[in-house]
Protein backbone atom coordinates (compact mmCIF):
# COMPACT_ATOMS: atom_id res chain seq x y z
CA UNK A 1 0.00 0.00 0.00
CA UNK A 2 1.38 3.47 -0.87
CA UNK A 3 2.61 5.31 2.21
CA UNK A 4 0.23 8.23 1.68
CA UNK A 5 -2.78 5.86 1.88
CA UNK A 6 -1.72 4.19 5.11
CA UNK A 7 -3.24 4.96 8.48
CA UNK A 8 -1.10 7.27 10.61
CA UNK A 9 0.36 6.31 13.99
CA UNK A 10 2.01 8.91 16.21
CA UNK A 11 4.67 7.45 18.53
CA UNK A 12 5.45 9.61 21.57
CA UNK A 13 8.48 8.71 23.70
CA UNK A 14 11.39 10.70 25.10
CA UNK A 15 13.81 7.84 24.36
CA UNK A 16 14.95 7.54 20.75
CA UNK A 17 15.70 3.82 21.12
CA UNK A 18 12.09 3.12 22.14
CA UNK A 19 10.79 5.06 19.14
CA UNK A 20 13.08 3.08 16.84
CA UNK A 21 11.89 -0.27 18.23
CA UNK A 22 8.20 0.65 17.84
CA UNK A 23 8.83 2.09 14.39
CA UNK A 24 10.48 -1.12 13.20
CA UNK A 25 7.51 -3.11 14.51
CA UNK A 26 4.85 -1.02 12.73
CA UNK A 27 6.37 0.77 9.74
CA UNK A 28 5.59 -2.06 7.29
CA UNK A 29 1.84 -1.46 7.68
CA UNK A 30 1.44 2.12 8.85
CA UNK A 31 2.74 5.61 8.27
CA UNK A 32 4.75 6.53 11.37
CA UNK A 33 5.20 9.98 12.94
CA UNK A 34 7.02 10.60 16.20
CA UNK A 35 7.49 13.14 18.97
CA UNK A 36 9.89 13.17 21.91
CA UNK A 37 8.02 15.58 24.22
CA UNK A 38 4.43 16.15 25.27
CA UNK A 39 4.30 19.63 23.71
CA UNK A 40 5.69 18.31 20.44
CA UNK A 41 3.18 15.46 20.50
CA UNK A 42 0.24 17.86 20.78
CA UNK A 43 1.61 19.98 17.95
CA UNK A 44 2.15 17.00 15.64
CA UNK A 45 -1.28 15.57 16.52
CA UNK A 46 -2.99 18.88 15.71
CA UNK A 47 -1.19 19.19 12.38
CA UNK A 48 -1.48 15.57 11.19
CA UNK A 49 -4.62 14.23 12.93
CA UNK A 50 -3.20 10.69 13.37
CA UNK A 51 -5.40 7.62 13.46
CA UNK A 52 -3.81 6.35 16.69
CA UNK A 53 -1.29 7.55 19.31
CA UNK A 54 1.21 5.31 21.08
CA UNK A 55 2.05 7.32 24.19
CA UNK A 56 4.77 6.87 26.79
CA UNK A 57 3.80 7.95 30.33
CA UNK A 58 7.13 8.77 31.98
CA UNK A 59 8.32 11.90 30.15
CA UNK A 60 9.82 15.13 31.53
CA UNK A 61 7.92 18.45 31.66
CA UNK A 62 4.61 16.98 30.43
CA UNK A 63 3.92 13.31 31.15
CA UNK A 64 1.74 11.01 29.10
CA UNK A 65 -1.24 11.41 31.40
CA UNK A 66 -1.38 15.15 30.73
CA UNK A 67 -0.88 14.65 27.01
CA UNK A 68 -3.77 12.18 26.94
CA UNK A 69 -5.95 14.54 28.97
CA UNK A 70 -5.29 17.40 26.55
CA UNK A 71 -5.92 15.20 23.52
CA UNK A 72 -9.27 14.08 24.91
CA UNK A 73 -10.21 17.68 25.77
CA UNK A 74 -9.65 18.83 22.17
CA UNK A 75 -12.79 18.36 20.02
CA UNK A 76 -10.63 17.85 16.94
CA UNK A 77 -8.51 15.12 18.56
CA UNK A 78 -10.74 13.48 21.17
CA UNK A 79 -11.74 10.52 18.98
CA UNK A 80 -8.14 9.42 18.35
CA UNK A 81 -7.47 6.19 20.28
CA UNK A 82 -4.53 6.45 22.68
CA UNK A 83 -2.53 3.39 23.73
CA UNK A 84 -0.13 3.91 26.62
CA UNK A 85 3.26 2.18 26.26
CA UNK A 86 5.02 2.28 29.62
CA UNK A 87 7.19 0.51 32.14
CA UNK A 88 4.63 1.28 34.85
CA UNK A 89 2.70 -1.91 35.55
CA UNK A 90 0.70 -1.14 38.71
CA UNK A 91 -3.08 -1.46 38.41
CA UNK A 92 -3.49 2.08 39.73
CA UNK A 93 -1.38 3.40 36.82
CA UNK A 94 -3.47 1.47 34.29
CA UNK A 95 -6.72 2.66 35.88
CA UNK A 96 -5.57 6.29 35.79
CA UNK A 97 -4.76 6.04 32.11
CA UNK A 98 -8.07 4.42 31.22
CA UNK A 99 -9.96 6.97 33.34
CA UNK A 100 -8.38 9.72 31.23
CA UNK A 101 -9.83 8.15 28.08
CA UNK A 102 -7.00 5.91 26.87
CA UNK A 103 -8.13 3.00 24.72
CA UNK A 104 -5.51 0.53 25.94
CA UNK A 105 -2.41 0.03 28.04
CA UNK A 106 0.71 -1.95 27.00
CA UNK A 107 3.61 -2.51 29.39
CA UNK A 108 7.30 -2.59 28.53
CA UNK A 109 9.15 -4.61 27.45
CA UNK A 110 6.77 -4.63 24.50
CA UNK A 111 5.47 -7.89 23.08
CA UNK A 112 5.34 -6.81 19.45
CA UNK A 113 2.84 -9.44 18.30
CA UNK A 114 0.41 -8.30 20.98
CA UNK A 115 1.11 -4.63 20.20
CA UNK A 116 0.39 -5.09 16.49
CA UNK A 117 -2.87 -6.92 17.26
CA UNK A 118 -4.06 -4.22 19.66
CA UNK A 119 -3.11 -1.46 17.25
CA UNK A 120 -4.94 -3.26 14.43
CA UNK A 121 -8.07 -3.78 16.56
CA UNK A 122 -8.26 -0.17 17.76
CA UNK A 123 -7.69 1.19 14.26
CA UNK A 124 -10.48 -1.06 12.98
CA UNK A 125 -12.82 0.22 15.70
CA UNK A 126 -11.90 3.82 14.91
CA UNK A 127 -12.57 3.30 11.21
CA UNK A 128 -15.99 1.85 12.01
CA UNK A 129 -16.78 4.80 14.32
CA UNK A 130 -15.67 7.27 11.65
CA UNK A 131 -17.87 5.59 9.05
CA UNK A 132 -20.83 5.62 11.43
CA UNK A 133 -20.26 9.30 12.25
CA UNK A 134 -20.14 10.09 8.53
CA UNK A 135 -23.42 8.25 7.93
CA UNK A 136 -25.04 10.13 10.84
CA UNK A 137 -23.85 13.46 9.42
CA UNK A 138 -25.18 12.57 5.97
CA UNK A 139 -28.51 11.52 7.45
CA UNK A 140 -28.80 14.72 9.47
CA UNK A 141 -27.97 16.76 6.37
CA UNK A 142 -30.59 14.90 4.36
CA UNK A 143 -33.19 15.31 7.10
CA UNK A 144 -32.41 19.01 7.26
CA UNK A 145 -33.41 19.31 3.61
CA UNK A 146 -36.74 17.58 4.11
CA UNK A 147 -39.68 19.87 4.75
CA UNK A 148 -42.73 18.41 6.46
CA UNK A 149 -46.34 19.57 6.34
CA UNK A 150 -48.10 19.48 9.68
CA UNK A 151 -50.86 21.18 11.60
CA UNK A 152 -54.26 22.52 10.47
CA UNK A 153 -54.31 23.92 6.92
CA UNK A 154 -57.03 26.47 6.08
CA UNK A 155 -58.45 25.45 2.69
CA UNK A 156 -61.27 27.02 0.68
CA UNK A 157 -64.26 24.68 0.40
CA UNK A 158 -64.99 25.97 -3.10
CA UNK A 159 -61.78 26.67 -5.03
CA UNK A 160 -59.52 24.56 -2.78
CA UNK A 161 -56.93 27.31 -2.35
CA UNK A 162 -54.89 27.29 0.87
CA UNK A 163 -54.24 30.29 3.10
CA UNK A 164 -50.47 30.48 3.54
CA UNK A 165 -48.44 31.57 6.55
CA UNK A 166 -48.71 35.25 5.54
CA UNK A 167 -52.49 35.14 5.24
CA UNK A 168 -52.65 35.05 1.45
CA UNK A 169 -54.63 32.47 -0.51
CA UNK A 170 -52.55 30.39 -2.92
CA UNK A 171 -52.97 27.37 -5.16
CA UNK A 172 -52.68 24.13 -3.22
CA UNK A 173 -49.91 22.76 -5.44
CA UNK A 174 -47.81 25.89 -4.91
CA UNK A 175 -48.24 25.68 -1.15
CA UNK A 176 -47.30 21.99 -1.03
CA UNK A 177 -44.28 22.56 -3.29
CA UNK A 178 -43.01 25.33 -1.00
CA UNK A 179 -43.41 23.18 2.12
CA UNK A 180 -42.22 19.80 0.87
CA UNK A 181 -40.03 18.09 -1.70
CA UNK A 182 -43.03 17.11 -3.87
CA UNK A 183 -43.12 17.85 -7.60
CA UNK A 184 -46.32 18.03 -9.66
CA UNK A 185 -47.49 16.95 -13.10
CA UNK A 186 -50.96 17.92 -14.26
CA UNK A 187 -53.74 15.85 -15.75
CA UNK A 188 -57.54 15.76 -15.56
CA UNK A 189 -59.69 13.29 -13.68
CA UNK A 190 -62.72 11.45 -15.22
CA UNK A 191 -65.23 13.50 -13.18
CA UNK A 192 -63.84 16.77 -14.55
CA UNK A 193 -63.64 15.36 -18.07
CA UNK A 194 -67.39 14.60 -17.97
CA UNK A 195 -68.11 18.04 -16.53
CA UNK A 196 -65.91 20.07 -18.89
CA UNK A 197 -66.06 17.95 -22.04
CA UNK A 198 -69.37 16.06 -21.95
CA UNK A 199 -69.45 15.64 -25.73
CA UNK A 200 -65.93 14.24 -25.86
CA UNK A 201 -66.25 11.64 -23.09
CA UNK A 202 -68.19 8.49 -22.33
CA UNK A 203 -70.28 7.88 -19.21
CA UNK A 204 -67.20 6.81 -17.24
CA UNK A 205 -65.33 10.02 -18.03
CA UNK A 206 -62.98 8.49 -20.60
CA UNK A 207 -62.09 10.74 -23.56
CA UNK A 208 -63.46 9.49 -26.89
CA UNK A 209 -61.18 9.08 -29.91
CA UNK A 210 -62.18 10.17 -33.43
CA UNK A 211 -63.50 6.67 -34.07
CA UNK A 212 -65.82 6.97 -31.07
CA UNK A 213 -63.85 4.53 -28.91
CA UNK A 214 -62.94 5.32 -25.35
CA UNK A 215 -59.32 6.34 -24.73
CA UNK A 216 -58.35 4.96 -21.32
**Over the chain, what is the mean pLDDT?**
85
Alpha helices by DSSP H, 49-171? 64-73, 91-99, 112-145
Q: What is the mean pLDDT of residues 125-132?
A: 92
pLDDT for res 24: 93
The partner residues of 33 in beta bridges, in order of sequence, read 10
Residue 207 clears pLDDT 70, i.e. is over it: no
Pairing of strands 169-170, 162-163: antiparallel
Of all residues in the chain, what percent carry a pLDDT higher than 70? Answer: 86
* Per-residue model confidence as pLDDT tens digits over 157-185: 778 788 877 888 888 878 777 777 777 77
Contact 23, 11 (CB under 8 A): yes
Burial of 108 (0-12, 13-18, 19+ CB in 10 A): middle
In the chain, residues under CATH classification 3.40.50.2300 are: 3-143
d(CA 34, CA 21) in angstroms, rounded, equals 12
pLDDT for the residue 10 = 98
Using alpha carbons, select from 104, 128, 102, 127 the residue that is nearest to residue 116: 104
Predicted structure pTM score: 0.65
Distance of alpha carbon 177 from alpha carbon 166, whole angstroms: 16
Non-local (6+) Cβ contacts of 129 within 8 A are: 79
What is the C-alpha to C-alpha distance for residues 138 and 115, in angstroms, rounded to an integer?
Answer: 34
Distance CA 33, CA 28 (A): 13
Q: Which fold has domain 3-143?
A: Rossmann fold (3.40.50)
Other Cβ atoms within 10 Å of 214 Cβ, number: 13
Q: Work out the pLDDT band at 151, boundaries 50, 70, 90.
A: low
Report whether 22 contacts 110 (CB < 8 A): yes
Q: Work out the pLDDT band at 188, boundaries 50, 70, 90.
A: confident
Amino acid sequence: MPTENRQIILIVDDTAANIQVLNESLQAEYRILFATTGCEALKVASESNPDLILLDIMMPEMDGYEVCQRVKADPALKDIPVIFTTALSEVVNEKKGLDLGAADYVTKPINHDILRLRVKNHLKLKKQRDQLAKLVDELQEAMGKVKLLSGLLPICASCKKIRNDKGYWTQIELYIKEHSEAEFSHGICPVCVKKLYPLLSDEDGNILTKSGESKK
